Chains A and B, each alone.
Chain A
Amino acid sequence: MTLPAFELVQPRSLRDAIDALAAAPGMEPIAGGTSLLVDLRGARVKAETLLDLGRIDELRGITIDSHELVIGAMATIADVLKNPAVAEHAPLLVEACRLFASPLVRNRATIGGNLAYASPAADAAPPLLALDAVVELRSVRGRRQVALAEFFKGVRKTARKPDELLVGIHIPRAVPGTLSAYRKLGLRKADSISVASVATRVVVDMAGRCQAARIALGAVAPVPLRVAKAEAALTRHGLTVEAAADAAKLAAEATSPIDDVRGTAAYRRRVTETLVKRALLELVEKGGDGR
């Protein structure tokens, strides 16, 4: 079945792209196309004109400096998997990307597209929330940064204005004592959308105290979310088996899942508790050997 007809604009620079978007804010950006083309074909999205970001080299880079890692919006999931700076400073994101779709999709799907699409099940979102990521938006009006937690507004809704492009994701450099663990439940081992996913990260000081904790959930609420109450259970009581169980319960209580083809709401709530517990127990184990 052929795609519905549309026009395609293919700028070669970010400047040209935001100019084009300012002139016609109804244009739909296309990055890897792995969500958009499927939606256009299924008539879930309509678009007269697509703005192809694929020829803008400046959006693809991954850079590291003295305080942050910056992943260009057009970096593919495969690019992220191969990058040594991401492996060093955002191993949590690497874990999620390993379980993301299939090799074929990973070679096209972009990090920016994953966030901009704002699916509750976007697999890059929980790790990036747990890594305190900030997204950068650009338009002819200028640039602004939005904490990822404030970027997601609802199912397929974000803080992005129609004339803005997501250009990059900023992640603070990993500090010593950082531990992280990721869990994803899909209906099969590979190439599956998350039924639920969990990203956890803690910073443990020299005395073994839990200085900071992040627990982020995917596919169990209208938006990927952090669960502050569960995080507090760890910072208050430390990285222990008991605190892990408490945090897992609190995390499950904070969900507002739906029934769909991949699972019921009740199932999602239960597996959230289990996934959080497993991820945190992995951290307890890692933290226990004095690392």
Chain B
Amino acid sequence: MSGANVKPTLTGESRSSARPGRIVRLTVNGRTHEVTLPAHRTLLEALRDLGYVDVKNGCEKGDCGACAVLLDGKVVNSCLVLAWQAEGAAITTNAGLGTVDRPHPIQEAFADAGAVQCGYCTPGMVLAAKALLDENPNPSEAEIREAISGNLCRCTGYGQIVEAVRLAAQRLREKAPTKQGGEKR
């Protein structure tokens, strides 16, 4: 449980003016939080308020993918999911894949390929890549581009991002000669 929930909220909405809501259990990166949320709180807002600030707030319209998370392994825009709807699902953010000390091979490939410029799109890109590689360990360039088509990079460094996903795919295949088993959850 995250006890220290006294950070300023993303919404800036004072809690007293909001509807009271109900207690929602959110399981994020394997950890369960119980938080009281009104029905209109998005998953994006709830996650950032819980301190998962690797989930970025971009357009709030589903256009940019900066707020991407995995819901039961599927990549979605957390700005278009209500927090109540995410109850019972396994929510994974970029930080749930790996840390700076122990990065996930996809994260490592993003660093190695120079795929990070301002960094705002990176967590979403990494998760879109994770969802792709879980289903298709050996994607073509066209498949990589299609998989990240819902994630905008305004630095427009797409070339390196595509290269990072290709590199990650290659490394993951080399690592797992049998099959890509043993996933998280």
Contacts and interface: CB of A to CB of B under 8 A. Distances in A.
Interface of A: 1-8, 10, 30, 32-34, 37-38, 41, 50, 52, 54, 78, 101-105, 107-108, 189-191
Given A2-B11, A33-B81, A103-B128, A108 B38 contact: no
Nearest to B87: A10
B75 A103 contact: yes
Nearest to A47: B40
Contacts of B110: none
Contacts of B19: 5, 7
B42 A3 contact: yes
A37 B85 contact: no
Interface string B136-170: 00000000011101110000000000000000000
B82 A101 contact: no
B65 interface: yes
Contacts of A34: 62, 80
Residue of A34, A38, A107 contacting most chain B CB atoms (<10 Å)? A107
Interface of B: 11-13, 18-19, 38-42, 45, 60-63, 65, 68, 71, 74-77, 79-82, 84-85, 128, 131-132, 145-147, 149-151
B85 A52 contact: yes
A7 to B, nearest CB: 6
Contacts of A104: 62, 65, 68, 75-77, 128, 150-151
Given A10-B84, A38-B61, A191-B149, A108 B77 contact: yes
A32 B81 CA distance: 8
27 contacts: A2-B45, A3-B40, A3-B42, A5-B18, A5-B19, A6-B40, A7-B19, A7-B39, A32-B80, A33-B82, A38-B61, A38-B62, A38-B80, A78-B74, A103-B146, A103-B147, A104-B68, A104-B76, A104-B128, A105-B62, A107-B74, A107-B76, A108-B76, A108-B77, A108-B80, A189-B149, A190-B146
A50 B60 CA distance: 19
Contacts of A3: 40-42
Residue of A6, A41, A103, A105 contacting most chain B CB atoms (<10 Å)? A103
Contacts of B150: 101-105, 190-191
A32 B84 CA distance: 13
Given A103-B149, A107-B75, A190-B149, A8 B81 contact: no
A2 B45 CA distance: 8
A12 B13 CA distance: 31
A8 B39 contact: yes
List 9 A-B pairs, minimum CB-CB distance, nearest first.
A102-B150, A190-B149, A8-B39, A104-B150, A2-B11, A3-B40, A107-B74, A191-B149, A102-B149
Contacts of B77: 104-105, 108
A213 B65 CA distance: 40
A52 B19 CA distance: 18
Contacts of A50: 39
Contacts of B81: 33, 108
A33 B74 contact: no
A95 to B, nearest CB: 14
A5 B41 CA distance: 8
Residue of B12, B45, B81, B128 contacting most chain A CB atoms (<10 Å)? B81
Nearest to A54: B85
A6 B39 contact: yes
A2 B145 CA distance: 31
Nearest to A190: B149
A54 B71 CA distance: 13
Contacts of B82: 8, 30, 33, 37, 52
A102 B148 CA distance: 8
A37 B67 CA distance: 15
Nearest to B39: A8
Contacts of B62: 34, 38, 101, 104-105
A5 B40 CA distance: 5
Contact of B80 (A10, A37, A78, A189): A37
A33 B44 CA distance: 14
Given A5-B18, A6-B39, A103-B132, 19 more contacts: A2-B12, A2-B41, A5-B40, A33-B80, A37-B79, A50-B39, A52-B84, A52-B85, A104-B65, A104-B75, A104-B76, A105-B80, A107-B71, A107-B75, A107-B76, A108-B77, A190-B146, A190-B149, A191-B63
